[in-house]
Structure 1
Amino acid sequence: MNNTAEYPKTTQSSWSLEQWLAYLMAIHPTEIDMSLGRVNRVFNRLALDFSSTRVVTVGGTNGKGSTCRFLELALLQLDKSVGVYSSPHLISFTERVRLNDTSPGESQFCQALLHIERMRGNDSLTYFEFSTLAALWLIAQAKPDYLILEVGLGGRLDATNIVDNHLAVITSIALDHQEYLGDTRESVAYEKAGIFRVNSPIVLGERDVPDVMLNQAQRSSGEVLWKGREFDFDDNHQPVWDWRGPNYELRQLPKPLLPIDNVATALAALAVLGELDELNAKPALLWELVRTAALPGRFQRLSFKPDWIVDVGHNPHAAALVVKQLQALNWDRLFIIVGMMRDKAMHETLATFAPLAPLWIPVGLPTERAASIADLHKALAPQEILTSAKSVAEGVKSILPQLSERDVVLVFGSFVTVAEMLTFNTQQRL
C-alpha cells in the first residue's frame, strides 16, 4: 500500500535519516521488484558523470563484501580515490557508502535522498533502488578514480546494474534467494552473468562455473580470468600461501583475515586493472595489506580467551566456509548463537556445523522476517540445543558464566544477528 499521504513533502528538507528510511519503506508496494525500467529512467534524469571513474561490479552468492573490501584497501594503498557502494549495512545505513574509507554523514545522505525524491517524478522506487540512486549521486559528486559496486541480489535486474562497468567480478555461485533467482545453480548463474558487459574483462572467482555463465563470459569478453585456470592459489594449510596469475606469482603471502578465496579473486581483479604490478613492487606494503585487511561481520573476532566470533553467513555455502575457518582453530567447546531469517535454507545451513558437535543457542530477532525459536529448533534437529533466548543479548548472557578460556563462541545467521551482537559488545564489552 502506498502511504505517501502520511509524509508531507513540504517538510522533506528537514527530515532526519530515520524519517527518510521510513518513507522509502512506504512508497513502493513491494520490498523487491525485479525490474530496471523505473530505476533506469530516474538514473538517466540524474545524468551522473562517471566518465573519469573506472567501475568494478562485484557479484556472486557469497564473498562479495570481502572481495570489495580488499580491492578498496589495495587501491587506497596505491593512492587512488575510491568510492564503494555495498549492502546491507550492519549498524548504520550510512555504512552503505564509503568514500576513501569514510562514510558520509547522515545529513549528506538526507541531501542525496531529497535530490532523488525531486528527480524521480511519478516513478515509484523500492527501498533498495532509491538508496542505490542516492549512493550513486553521492559518489558521483566526489568523482573518484574507482567505483566498486557490490551487487545486491542476482545481477541482471539488480539496481547496481544500471551502471556500465569496466570490470565484472563473480565471487561464487550457490543457491540463495531462490524465489527470485531460481532453484538451480544454472538459473543463479544466468542472473549473475547479467553484470557482464561486451568487451569488458571478467574475473570468475568460482571454480565450478555453470556453462550458462561461462558461455556468456566468453561471448561478452576477450579477457576472462577463471580461478583454477588463469589464476589460482595454494595454501597447503601452512602459515603462508602462494598466488599465481597470468604473468607472475606472489609467494609467501601471510594468511589473511578475510577468506583466502576472496583475497585471491581480488588479486586477480587488481591484475586485470593493471594495479597489481605497482602493489607487487612494494612487497612490504602488499604483505601488510594481505595480513590486516578486514571487514566487520566476516569471521570477525571480538575478543580472545574465550574467542568470540561473528559472521553474517546465512546459507549453506557461507556456512561451509565458516566451518573451515573454525576447524583451523584450537578449542575445547564450540557454542553457536544463531538467529536466521525464515526464508533461508535453515536446515541445510545449520546441518553444515554438525561435524563440529556445537552447543546451540537459537535466538529471536527483532524483525518480522526472522525465524521463530521453534523454527530454529526444528531446523537444528537432531543437534544438541543448550538453551534458547528471546534475543542475542539474552543468549550471550545465558552462556557467559560457563565459558572457559579455550572455548569458542560463534554468533551468526544474518546481518541482523551480527548487528545485535556488535551493539551488545559496544555497550557491554565481553
Structure 2
Amino acid sequence: MNYSESLAYLYSRLPVFHRIGAKALKPGLANIERLSAALGNPHQLFRSIHVAGTNGKGSTSHMLASIYQSAGYRVGLYTSPHLKSFTERIRLNGTPIAEADVAEFVTTYQSLIEAVEPSFFEVTVAMAFDYFARQQVDLAVIEVGLGGRLDSTNIITPELSVITNISFDHQDVLGDTLPQIAGEKAGIIKPGVPVVISETQAETKSVFQTVADQQQARITFADQVYTVVDDGLVDGVRQVRVTSVTGQADAFVLDLTGPYQVRNLPGVLGTVDQLQTQWPVGRDAVAAGLAAVVKQTGLQGRFQRLNERPIVLADTAHNQAGIQAVLTAVDSIPHRTVHLVIGMVADKDRSAVLRLLPSSARYYFCQAQTPRSLPADVLQREAAELGLAGEAFIDVNEALDAAIRTATTDDLILITGSNYIIAELTDKI
C-alpha cells in the first residue's frame, strides 16, 4: 500500500474517534499491549515525558519539544488530533514522519492490525512508539489522547509526568465532576515517577496529592514554584517575566501568543528544571525554544493570527474553559466589533459554551465535514434561543469569507469551536 491507500485502509477498517466520538474508544490497554508486544515493546526502548490535561496539554507538549530541540537533543513528539495531515501526529525534531514510513508500517503490520482489531488511535500510538524507537530519539514527548488512566499512551513509564489543567470535557467518558476527571488524568502517575501539576485547582489538588502519595511519586504544583507576569504583546510576541521561589528571575518571549499560555508555562519550566540530571538544558535553550515553538514544532491553531486588518484569529478551543480563555484573550486586543465564526461537534456541552459567547458579536455558524459535526443550522437555532444571531454556512471557509466581507478594518474575526473547524480552513492554516 502507498500512503493514501494506507490511510484509506485505517479510516475504513478502524473506529476513528474524530469521526464517531466515544464509540471509537476501546477501554483498557489490552490492544496496545498486544500491538506493542508484537512490535518488540518499542515503548521500552526510549525515554519520555508524558503530558495529560484537559486544556493546554498540546501546547505544553510542543513547548517542551521545542526547548529540548533547542538544547540539541533528538526529540520525538506525539500529539493528536492532527489538523491537516496525519503525519503531524508523529514528529522528529519538528519534522513529520514521512508518508513512506506510514505506508510501510501499515503494510508490514496489516495482518497484526486485523488480528488485534484495535482502534485508529491505538494503531497511531503503536506507530509512533515504533518510529521513535527506530529513530533512537534522546527523548519523546508523549501527549495523552483522552483522559489518562485508560489512554493507549499510558503503557509508557516516563521520566516525568505532567498534568496541565482540569476542566469539563468528555464527561460521557471521564466523569461529571472535576475530581472524577482529575482521577482519570491522575492515572498517568506512575510508581516513583515525579509528576508536575501546572495549575493548582482547589477541586482537584487533593486528588493528585492522594494518587501521588499512593504511588510514592514526588509531586510539584508548579504555579506555587513559579510566578509568571504577563507583559503583553510586543511586536507580535508575548513577553513574560518569571520568578521562582529560589529567587531566579527570567524574561521570556513566547511565539504562542495566547495569554492563556502563561498558565502552561510553570508546568513547562518545572519539567525542565526537574529533568536537568537526565537532560541538561541551559536558560538560553529554554528561551530559544519558547520563542520558536511554531517554527520548530509546527504547532498551529493556538490563537494564531491569520490577518491584521481586520485581525483574524484562529483557535482550536472547543470546551467551556478553552472558549472562556480565548474570549478573555480577545478582550485584551483593541477592536471595534467581534465577528465570531464558530462550529462545534455534536457530542459537546454546547449550552455551556453558547452561554459564554457575547451577545454583541456578529455570528457565522458553520460545520466541519465530519460525521461528529453539529449541523450549522442546529447551532444557529440553539444560539438564537440565547440571543446570539447570525447566518449559517455549511463550510468554515464560506463563513470566514462572509465575515471578511462584512468586517471593517478595525474589527476582529475569531474562528473557533472545534479542531475540525480550524483544520478545514483552506490555504490559511
Superposed CA RMSD: 2.5
Matched to 1:167, the amino acid is: L
Distance 1:195 1:92, change over 3 A: same
Match of 2:330 among 310, 315, 326: 326
1:293 and 2:286 aligned? no
1:338 is aligned to: 342
Matched residue of 1:168: which SS? Answer: strand
Matched residue of 1:228: which SS? Answer: helix
Distance 1:322 1:244, change over 3 A: same
C-alpha distance in 1 between matches for 2:226 and 2:287: 19
1:216 is aligned to: 211
Contact 1:67 1:266 in 2 (8 A): yes
Aligned positions of 1:27-426 closer than 5 A: 30-49=23-42, 53-120=46-113, 122-208=115-201, 209-235=204-230, 240-245=239-244, 247-254=246-253, 256-258=255-257, 259-274=261-276, 278-280=281-283, 282=284, 286-294=286-294, 295-354=299-358, 357-380=360-383, 381-421=385-425, 423-425=426-428
C-alpha distance in 2 between matches for 1:367 and 1:306: 29
Contact 1:334 1:359 in 2 (8 A): yes
Contact 2:335 2:412 in 1 (8 A): yes
Contact 1:316 1:348 in 2 (8 A): yes
Contact 2:209 2:219 in 1 (8 A): no
Report how far residue 19 of structure 1 moved. 2.4
Distance 1:354 1:13, change over 3 A: closer
Q: Deviations over 1:211-239 (max 9, x none)?
A: 22221023324422103323342337686
Contact 1:20 1:110 in 2 (8 A): no
Contact 1:86 1:150 in 2 (8 A): yes
Q: Deviations over 1:102-148 (max 9, x none)?
A: 01121111112233434457322011111211121111110101111
Matched to 2:266, the amino acid is: A
Matched to 2:7, the amino acid is: E
Q: Deviations over 1:33-67 (max 9, x none)?
A: 12111221221221234556321000000111110
C-alpha distance in 2 between matches for 1:222 and 1:19: 42
Report how far residue 354 of structure 1 moved. 2.1
C-alpha distance in 2 between matches for 1:55 and 1:154: 18
Deviates most, 112-121 or 95-104: 112-121
Contact 1:116 1:130 in 2 (8 A): no
Contact 2:31 2:122 in 1 (8 A): no
Report how far residue 246 of structure 1 moved. 5.5
Structure 1's unaligned 5+ residue stretches are 1-11
Deviates most, 266-275 or 323-332: 266-275
Aligned pairs, how many?
410
1:9 is aligned to: none
Report how far residue 260 of structure 1 moved. 1.5
Deviates most, 209-218 or 19-28: 19-28
Distance 1:15 1:302, change over 3 A: closer
Contact 1:50 1:143 in 2 (8 A): no
Question: Could you state the TM-score of these two structures normalised by the residue count of structure 1?
Answer: 0.88
Matched to 2:222, the amino acid is: K
Report how far residue 27 of structure 1 moved. 10
Matched to 1:33, the amino acid is: K
Match of 1:22 among 11, 24, 42: 11
Matched residue of 2:251: which SS? Answer: strand
C-alpha distance in 1 between matches for 2:177 and 2:386: 27
Matched residue of 1:387: which SS? Answer: strand
Structure 2's unaligned 5+ residue stretches are none
Question: Could you state the TM-score of these two structures normalised by the residue count of structure 2?
Answer: 0.88
Q: Deviations over 1:145-185 (max 9, x none)?
A: 11111000100000000111111000111111111101111
